[in-house]
Amino acid sequence: MENRKSTTALGGLKVIELGQLIAGPFAAKLLGEFGAEIIKVEPPVGGDPLRNWRKIENGTSLWWHVQSRNKKSVGLDLKKPEGQEILRKLLKDADILIENFRPGTLEKWGLGWEQLSQLNPKLIMVRVSGYGQTGPYRDLPGFGVIGEAMGGLRYLTGEPGRPPVRCGVSIGDSLSALYAVIGILLALHHRDQRSGKGQCIDVALYESVFGMMESLVPEYDFFGAIREPSGAALPGIAPTNAYLCRSGKYVLVAGNGDGIFKRLMNAMGREDLANDPQYAHNDGRVKGVAVLDAAIGEWTKQRDVAEVMEKLNAAGVPVGYPYTAEDIVKDPHYQAREVIQTINLPSGKTLKVPGVLPKLSDTPGHIGGAGPSLGEHTDEVLSAIGIDGEMLKSLRQRGIISGKKEGL
């Protein structure tokens, strides 16, 4: 650990993760990639449900090996008093606790913020929930999809007049995880540089989404404008859209800067539009967006994606196309920046996984390997807080902990 402290940004920090599925565990994953010790506490039977989500290899979700890398798994029944007492022992010298239970769950077990902050005044506690720890909705169940809806995102996604769609990943949970990590880093700075004390961080899924909604509310407040779904376009900014090519595939073109717009039109051979004073600035282009989108679409549909990409890249116009998983894995830029890395699975097979972000020059993050088996580190972690072998055996026999003793 001493070496890790000197070579990683968060080495020496002890994090207890009580979260399941996405938001809490994703936050802990990010901390673990930069050196923090992550002790993941899971139910002794079944563990985190994410172990069985999506595609399964040798009994374990491939997603698990991304979300739970660099973590130690402890199988511990927190519904039983002895399990709760063990958690208190783990928290006595911990720096951070991450949980995403429904509000009130930890209080029911005598593990609320008031009790834990007295137990360990330096503890930073992160609480991720659907609606936050206060307010009239606090006790309602809330997953990421509900946070995306209440936060305003789902209303805007999709084509006008059609049902709202999701973006294909659990973006509400992931945004909450990022806010949780920001809160942790702020609280660590305040604790270590100023107060010496930890604090509680309240992250709500819907607020994490709402925080990304740009000028949605100010425009409603000032003009009474309710932003509506707009498909692939970005309202109030033009031209930027998805345009069909000859091959039946789409390109994404962002010609919304004044200089970029001129280069785009010139590359298309539309000097008339490039030099039209109506389109010199964004406000004029927004008024004439139908004309501009039609002109761009007419140009792209006569060309394949590769030709459009070549011409617009040469002209200095931002252009791309929707990448599939295959496109990502084969892309030379992804490869050059090592955004995808390869790990070894317990089965002996290899697996490509997302690399560590962001990239730090002096204390970069790392991937230690695949996600742990359920309770893989129970004995190691509990022995370190003074629980001897006989007690471990007794706890295991009574179902309070799970996981085989190392070496057996």
Of the candidates 305, 295, 352, 346, the residue with the CA atom closest to the CA atom of residue 326: 352
Residue 232 DSSP class: T
Contacts of residues 255-264 at CB distance under 8 Å and 24 or more positions apart, as own/partner, are 255/292, 255/296, 255/317, 255/318, 256/282, 256/285, 258/282, 260/316, 260/317, 260/318, 261/285, 263/315, 263/316, 263/317, 264/239, 264/296, 264/312, 264/315, 264/317
CA 22 to CA 177: how far, in whole Å? Answer: 8
Cβ atoms of 319 and 253 within 8 Å: the answer is: yes
Q: What are phi and psi of 278, to 5 degrees?
A: -60, -30
Residue of 48, 173, 293, 379 marked catalytic: 173
The Cα angle at residue 186 between residues 182 and 188, in degrees rounded to 5: 115
Q: What are phi and psi of 167, to 5 degrees?
A: -80, -5
- State how far the alpha carbon of 388 is from the alpha carbons of 53, 202, 292, 367, 408, in Å: 35, 36, 73, 31, 16
Q: Is 221 a catalytic residue?
A: no
CA 322 to CA 313: how far, in whole Å? Answer: 16
Cβ atoms of 377 and 401 within 8 Å: the answer is: no
Tokens encoding 165: 């769609």
Residues serving a catalytic function are 173
